Amino acid sequence: MKRSILTVGILAALSLTASITPASGLTSTDVVSPQSAATPKPKSTPRPTVDGKRTKDGVTLDGKAKVDDRLSEGWPPKKSKPTVPASADAGGPTKDTATPPAPPERIDAKLNLGICGRPGADGTIPGPTRCQPVGPEEPVVPTPGVPVNLPQPEDVSWEQVLAEARNVAFPGLGVKVQPVGRTLVNLETIVYTDQSRVTTAQVTLLGFPVEVEATPMSYLWRFGDGASLSTTTPGKPYPAKEITHKYLKKGSVGLTLTTNYAARFRVAGGAWQYVEGTVPITGPATPLQVREAVPVLVDPER
């Protein structure tokens, strides 16, 4: 009986050796532990693709990496229960099958270089002004200003009034001549003006209304041949011969009249202020032809 059992054991050992060694080609050095055989090698993570572009604040880099089979059907894999190797049924040691490693996470890096750095020990951040921490606005403290003195009616001067009202309150008077347009040598030529009158005007200076009044006081006549005459009246037309002049030679002349005005003004309805002296205003020239009369003998019988 013992010999039969020994014979069967030897035959089983020889059969097992023949089935393992020739078919698989394994040697004693090629034996792998169950744990290492069940653990797959992790896949290598591809390097991320980095793109860069220049901005006004520096350089912006975008990096992305692609993970294969991340969105494939059945991902993530379900956890499997540990399996018991065949040796466990024979009473041998048991070990859990290793769980496959988790897939590498997707790398999505965005680097902003040259814009804002790390906060320093003093709380400031290197970079443009917008990188600095924004704190509460400082209250605006009003600064004491220089007191402004508002203008007063007495601040209005006569020089300002004259510059503003010269063209409206002080008209230049023209000369009227008789005979009109032409005269003769040694003939009493009548001159006068019909525009002489008291004029008033109102202007605004320093925000105040200013009333100006101009009154003709005297007249200076210039006849165009070098002669002149000063009067206190504006003259009268024919038949009155209040102001006349005789030309001694023929030619073309221009007559002008300078009117001397007395002026006064008041500001904002206040008291009248009289101006010392007069304001001379010269009017436009009046052209005149001076001709010479030549006697001619005629025969009345013819």
Half-sphere exposure at residue 146, Cβ-oriented, CA atoms within 13 angstroms: 3
**What is the spatial distance between Cα 290 and Cα 179, in angstroms, rounded to a whole number?**
11
Q: Kindly give, in sequence order, each residue whose CB lies less than 8 Å from that of residue 211, ignoring residues fewer than 6 positions away.
A: 200, 201, 202, 265, 266, 269
pTM tops 0.85? no
**What is the spatial distance between Cα 249 and Cα 246, in angstroms, rounded to a whole number?**
9
Instruction: Give pLDDT, residue 187.
Output: 93
Contact (CB, 8 A) for 247 and 225: yes
Whose CA is closest to 166, among 268, 285, 259, 272? 259
Domains, the chain, in order of start with CATH, read 154-291 (2.60.40.10)
User: How far, in whole angstroms, is CA 162 from its chain's centroid?
Assistant: 41
Question: Which DSSP helix (H) or strand (E) runs through 5?
Answer: helix 2-24
Q: What tokens does 255 get?
A: 């007559």
Q: Angle CA(161)–CA(162)–CA(167) in degrees, nearest 5?
A: 115
Per-residue pLDDT of the chain (302 residues; tens, 9 = 90+): 444 444 444 544 455 444 444 444 444 444 444 444 455 565 666 677 777 777 777 777 777 766 665 554 455 555 556 555 554 444 555 555 556 677 666 655 544 455 666 777 776 777 666 666 666 667 777 777 777 788 999 999 999 999 999 988 999 999 999 999 999 999 999 999 998 999 999 999 999 999 999 999 999 999 999 999 999 999 999 999 999 999 999 999 999 999 999 999 999 999 999 999 999 999 999 999 999 988 887 777 76
Contact (CB, 8 A) for 56 and 97: no
